[in-house]
Structure 1
């Protein structure tokens, strides 16, 4: 009898290549006791802020995406100095985003394509990503990221103090299930059209227990059973119109309260709130500070896209150092001025 199993499956799969296991990668690039304790402490601080036990503002700030580890570490060294100087007002967490959701097609991020040439050397990407996370953590900076592929957290989540679920994936059951098992606080962004109900539903879903398919530390397929994540919150990133001003923030807080959730949220200064113009983030930031200064404000966090150089650029063989290859960012001088306001 002939084996005809391959006549009906993998018809469009070009190649299957084994990948390093999460356990093996962590063995090669271990977190260590000192950094483990630092991550645990940073997560506790983030939890205290989003649950209103710490009145500082959580600030998630950094490049739209990582494409050059050297420039990212350069930025991190600058940010670490300022973070220490403003720690009485802000708890600063660096954006270290290795995965990028695409509306259609495009560069999917450093882990997927670290060489920027469609070679998709993910083995290298995972190693280089984890190495950069360790380098940034050793500077004393807490780390934030967006989890897109549900397998990636097994390789990097032990280093992350706050994570985001993006506007394109907030409605995804897979990402709600994944978030229910993540060990750090998670922010759910409103949908790209501005719908906040979707994010509120995601918060409720992720706070409950789930069972789903995943992988274990040895890379084996496993049934994952979670307890639910009690540390989730809303992120307003704008939609068809910006939603960072007082009326929209108040409306979102009322919707959270009506759903029986804590009235705490983050405002993303970038994306639709800035109309995708980098410098508009300053205006959003100023509005956030004004609203908080009046008291009784549900805004407990802000997100800013910032890098060394302003703007963005297309992928080429002659990239400008420290400039984003995805969304436009404000430059370092503007960043430092904002954080010292």
Structure 2
């Protein structure tokens, strides 16, 4: 995090200034599409109740009035009421987190940025933990997601207002304010846990680790409009983010209203991350790892980086959730633990690589 705050002028190295590689982008897009489709099929087939891939395709055809037969016995209910909701929610959550990460990295001009930098995840966690610890039920089963989403948006608003001065928002001030708010959020979560009973502590701990085990079609219908809005709005900023990579002053000379764009991007990132965290808990490193891997293959152009990151995030979450369900069956490993186990070593490697290419942070 300190690296983000101390980075000097935003002058990307020659590799980052390279133009997008269209051929690589097309191949990567096809590869991600195949990886995602195969992951959906494998995830739907595997679990405590095994379902043959052919039966899954037949059931899908039956639901779409294209022929085929439903899965025999309880398999149809398991497929459509348990596994497909979980898979679809994973696709939405992964796409939201990865796209938000790509936007954050473009806005800060730093590959080490991710949605948690401005406190969205920690703020949403405070809202959810507060609802659990105090037993709030004003919205029924929706109380925890509603509290998480509203708290995430409120946290972003606080961070933005505190970092704004003289009609402008400096990136360094925004990052440092986010660090302070993240620390305060962690302290508040600790206070709530201190006063919670054993059952509430179990629920809080599992929620903080991230999971898709509570996926239902109503939750998907609730988060899908927010995810669709954020994912649809993101590509409209692609050209301006490419210009911003040249530096704030050149971007302004080329007609980019940097301050206005930064505010709009913060709102979109808050929308995407808040919606994802509200239904899945805290799942880290997706917004950091996926956009950077896509950038390494397809280049830094945001016209391809944003949609490919969304597709990559969806594929990663689907496969990671499959591993979470099966690696320690019949127990389930929290999804956030698996992403952290893979993401943390990658973050260390990325930190050292970026520092070496920049010649140090000082």
TM-score of the aligned structures, taking structure 2 as reference length:
0.26
TM-score of the aligned structures, taking structure 1 as reference length:
0.28
Q: Flag the structure with larger Rg.
A: 2
Higher strand content, 1 or 2: 1
* Higher RCO, 1 vs 2 (CA within 8 Å, ≥6 residues apart): 2
Higher helix content, 1 or 2: 2
